[in-house]
Amino acid sequence: MAALWAKISAALPRHEEQLPLRFSDKVESSVVEMLRRSRRQLYSDDDNAAAAAARMLNAQIILDVSWERLNAGTWRHVDKEWRRVYSYGCLFKAAALCRRGPSADEVLLAVRTCDMGLLMGAAIMDNILQVIVGILQGEVRRSTDLQEESGRAEVKRKKTECSRLPVINDESAVPRIKCPSLESFSTNYLLPLKPVVLEGTIAHWPALNQRPWSLEYLRGVAGCRTVPVEVGSRYTDEEWSQTLLTVNEFIERHVLDEIPELKEDICLPDYCCLGEGDEDDITVNAWFGPRGTVSPLHQDPQQNFLAQVVGSKYIRLYSPEDTDKLYPHPSPLLHNTSQVEVENPDAERFPEFSRAPYAECVLRPGDVLFIPVRHWHYVRSLELSFSVSFWWS
């Protein structure tokens, strides 16, 4: 394992003075003092148990104090400087874990630590956490290759028959079109904000060709990585919560930015160039969930391309013009979400809902649904499903 530390060392600046610790006034000097201590410890040659304990302790202090600042107000208002401090804490902790012949568990903990920094922190030192987690993942893959497969839990193949397969009426069906030109899409759908299913536009994705996405593939590429997971069938349920888990532990959802390797299997839809924003401003998310997962009727503030890679989803769309019939939640936190259960509406509480016109479709592998900005949409997975969404403006 000495090779592991050598690789990580090589990714870090050679000398202590070259590791930058520059922060605005928002970060108090007492905290900067802690960061300096960690930096000193990182470059000191002490390798005994006491030094190791001191490194972990100091890194944890930095993590604890910055975690408190990250939770101090709404996420939107968290100062980026504190997210950077948090990332430094993750860096020092991961380095401390990998210093002295780390066990397999310590390597996994270091991966999780880097992932926490990537999820909650802000990029530091040319995104060093991404570099380090890449090194660590290589280490994890190497050791799992050498092990027997028998230790891993069997993933039961779910039956592909779907219950309650919706029948799409011709009158309410979302129109389908095969590979429209940019101009045609722009004129007929983007500018008038009309939903449409685009067929044949993602047939070239590696995720559908050379490296087809499957449970096994995902576990192989990203099994040890930590991702945010929504627990509960719909986010308006009282029992719904968000938690952080590794993909291996609870395979339900992952966010692409954290695992750039999966980004190689998909491509940005060309139609996104019709927007005003930069390519860098396009938010790409991967959605991974079992049959029956429901996204309650809601609207988003950006244009959306929802690309289906594996499995199928039933989707219903309502126009923003009919918002008054959709009974959005009054609270500011959920005002973009309807109170109505789309496939089981309470006619007494929501009498106008049945009068709202809608369009619907079953999205299958290879389909891309254009959801115009602020169009209300409801989604139910009909079987194990992988989709990729592109939010753009």
- The residues of the shown chain that bind other proteins, judged by CB under 8 A, are 25, 28-30, 33-34, 37, 41, 50, 53-54, 57-58, 61, 64-65, 68, 71-74, 103, 105, 108-109, 112, 229, 231, 243-246, 249-250, 332-333
Nearer to other proteins by Cβ, of 18 and 242: the residue is: 242
Shortest distance (Å) from residue 96 CB to other proteins: 13
Instruction: Output the DSSP codes for 298-324.
Output: E--SSEEEEEEEES-EEEEEE-GGGGG
Q: Give the residue ranges of DSSP H helices in the chain.
A: 2-11, 29-43, 49-70, 80-97, 104-120, 128-146, 182-185, 215-222, 260-263
Which structure tokens are listed for 38? 């960690």
Minimum Å gap between C-beta 156 and other proteins is 17
CB of 243 to other proteins, least distance (A): 5
* Residue 257: CB atoms within 10 Å: 15
Residue 320 and residue 299 in contact, taking contact as beta carbons nearer than 8 Å: yes
If one counts every other C-beta atom within 10 angstroms of the C-beta of residue 81, the result is 18
Query: Would you say 245 or 373 has its CB closer to other proteins?
Result: 245
Q: Could you tell me the smallest distance in angstroms from the CB atom of residue 178 to other proteins?
A: 42
Place of tokens 């968000």: 242
Minimum distance from residue 137 beta carbon to other proteins (Å) = 15
> What φ, ψ does residue 364 adopt, rounded to 5°?
-115, 170
Q: Are 230 and 240 in contact (CB under 8 A)?
A: yes
Q: Please, which residue, 25 or 348, has the CB nearer to other proteins?
A: 25
Q: Which is nearer to other proteins, 143 or 181 (CB)?
A: 143
Minimum separation from the CB atom of position 201 to other proteins (A): 37
CA distance 225 to 384: 21
User: Which DSSP state fits 280?
Assistant: G
Q: Which is nearer to other proteins, 162 or 244 (CB)?
A: 244
Q: Which is nearer to other proteins, 101 or 260 (CB)?
A: 101
SS3 181: coil
Both tokens of residue 339? 């109170």
